[in-house]
Structure formats: structure tokens, C-alpha cells
Amino acid sequence: MIEMKGISKTYRVRRREAGLGNAVRSLFSREYTEIPALKSMSFTIPDGQIVGYIGPNGAGKSTTIKILSGILRPDGGMCSVDGLVPWEDRREHVARLGVVFGQRSQLWWDVPVMESFLLLRDIYRVPEGSFRENLERLTGLLDLEDLVRTPARMLSLGQRMRCEIAAALLHGPKVLFLDEPTIGLDAVSKLKVREFILEQNKLCGTTVLLTTHDMQDIDALCSRVLLIGKGQLLLDGDTAQIRAMAGENLSTEESVADLYRRFGI
């Protein structure tokens, strides 16, 4: 179970006007602007749910994911994932967690994907038996037979993303965070990734938190949607509710933009 209660996070950003004079002045006194990324964010996600986390750029989606993954410490509030506080019990917490950042790779660039898998096995101390089992299942479902012998840098984006997802699941995590997992993928790869996420959720009861800008992802995967804007939770409901608000054509850009406008974000 994932619980967030009154989590807030403010970034301090250094600002100055352009120009030499201002550059010299900033040597002596620096001006900071406080940018609130999250303002008292609260929600609860029970085990086994697939939750879509949506909102415009800068809404605080990534900040939330980072806090829940234990790589960012909030300024205030309480948070626990299966009874652990992510940033305090980091090592124990991340051992039960799988994360895929669509914009980043966790595979080692220059070696065949299989080598990365084996290293992950050692890092997470996955017993050989369950490693083989997971690997076989993931390879079959995601079509990886040929890919695992290829160096990661030679894979296409779609191929790499499938390997990334497999890499995040080798240790059989209870909770999976996906940060824009279908970004930049073609139609076939998108369908494959979605199909797999559903399969994984059904078979292993994995809890999935998914951020995306692609409403088709939400439509196809999520039973529940959290809409956030300007660091606040604006709507917590099922996909049908969102669809009702956005009009039937949730998947079109216009209706989503319209939805965001309605909430003034």
C-alpha cells in the first residue's frame, strides 16, 4: 500500500537578471526564488491497483515519483510504501521496487542486455531459480530472445524500452513506477508495452503507478486516475469520471487540454 499524507516540496532556484553587472553582483548576494513543486499532496493506493498520474508539465508528477522512490526528500508530510519510509529506509525500500524512467536508461550502454540483467540479479540478490523463472516469463512476454544478446546502444527505442521494463521486474518487485514509459514509441511497441503491463498486474498483482501525457495509456491501463496541477491533487476518480468530464474523446489532445483548462492549470 502506498500512502502519502500532506507531502510538500519546494525547490530553491537561483535567479538573476542577464548582464555582466548582475553577474558580478550575484557573486556577493544571491537571490533565490522558491518554487513549490508539491503542496500538501495526499493519496492512498491499495495493493494491486494500476493508477494513472496525469497533469501538465511542471505539475509535480516527477517530484512525486522521486519522493516515492526515495531519491528525493520532501520538506514535510508523511509517506510510506508497504510500511517503509522511502527516503529513510532506502535500501530496503528500493529492493522491493521497480522503476522505469522513460527518458533514462538503466541498462549498461556498451554491453549486451543480458549482462545488465545478470548484474541486476547480483545487485538485488535474486535467487537463481526465481531469476530464471522471471527471465523466461519476461523474455517470452516482451519478445526479447534476440534482443538480450545485443548491446543496449544498438537497440531501437521500442526494443530498449521493452528491455528496460524487463530489467525493472527481474527482482519481482511489489510496486512498479513507470514515468512516461511509452514516450516516443511507435504504435506497435506501445500496444505491446500496455499489454504487458496489464498482464504483469493481473498475474503478479503488481501495484503500478504510471505517469504519462498519453491519454490512450490511461484509457487502456488504468482503473483509477489522479489528476494534479500546480502541486495539488485536483481529481481522484476512475477513468469513466475523467472521460465524462473530458467528453467521450478522452484520447484527443483537445479534450485533455480542455480538461486542464477547466481546472485552471
Partner 1 sequence: MGKYWSFFKMRLMAGLQYRAAALAGMSTQFVWGAMEILLYRAFWLEHPERFPMGMEALSNYIWLQQAFLTLFAMWNWETEILESVKTGTVSYELLRPTDIYGMWMARSVANRFARAALRMVPVIVVSSLLPAPYGLRLPASPAAFGLFLLSSALMVLVVCAYSLFVYALTFYLTDPNGIMVLSVAAADLLGGAVVPLPFLPDGFRQFAALTPFGSMQNVPLRLFSGDIPLSEAPAVMGLQVFWITVLISGGYLLTRNGLRRAVILGG
- Please tell me the distance from the alpha carbon of residue 93 to that of residue 52, in angstroms, as a whole number: 22
* Matching residue, cell 498475474: 203
Q: Does 108 bind partner 1 (CB under 8 A)?
A: yes
Among residues 47, 110, 238, 254, the one that binds partner 1 under rule CB under 8 A: 110
Among residues 114, 119, 245, 265, the one that binds partner 1 under rule CB under 8 A: 119
CB atoms within 10 A of CB 153: 12
- Please tell me the distance from the alpha carbon of residue 245 to that of residue 39, in angstroms, as a whole number: 24
Q: Does 72 bind partner 1 (CB under 8 A)?
A: yes
Q: What's the min distance (Å) between Cβ of 38 and partner 1?
A: 11
Among residues 3, 82, 115, 219, the one that binds partner 1 under rule CB under 8 A: 115
**How deeply is 264 buried, as exposed, middle or buried, from its count of CB atoms within 10 A (0-12, 13-18, 19+)?**
exposed
Q: Does 123 bind partner 1 (CB under 8 A)?
A: yes
Query: Which amino acid belongs to residue 86?
Result: P
Using CB under 8 A as the binding rule, the residues of this chain from 87 to 106 that contact partner 1 are 87, 90-92, 94-95, 97, 99, 101, 104, 106
Among residues 1, 114, 118, 191, the one that binds partner 1 under rule CB under 8 A: 118
Q: What's the min distance (Å) between Cβ of 9 and partner 1?
A: 8
Q: What's the min distance (Å) between Cβ of 32 and partner 1?
A: 12
3-state secondary structure of 105: coil
Instruction: Give the strand pairing for 175-179 and 31-45.
Output: unpaired
- Please tell me the distance from the alpha carbon of residue 189 to that of residue 83, in angstroms, as a whole number: 35
Q: Does 154 bind partner 1 (CB under 8 A)?
A: no
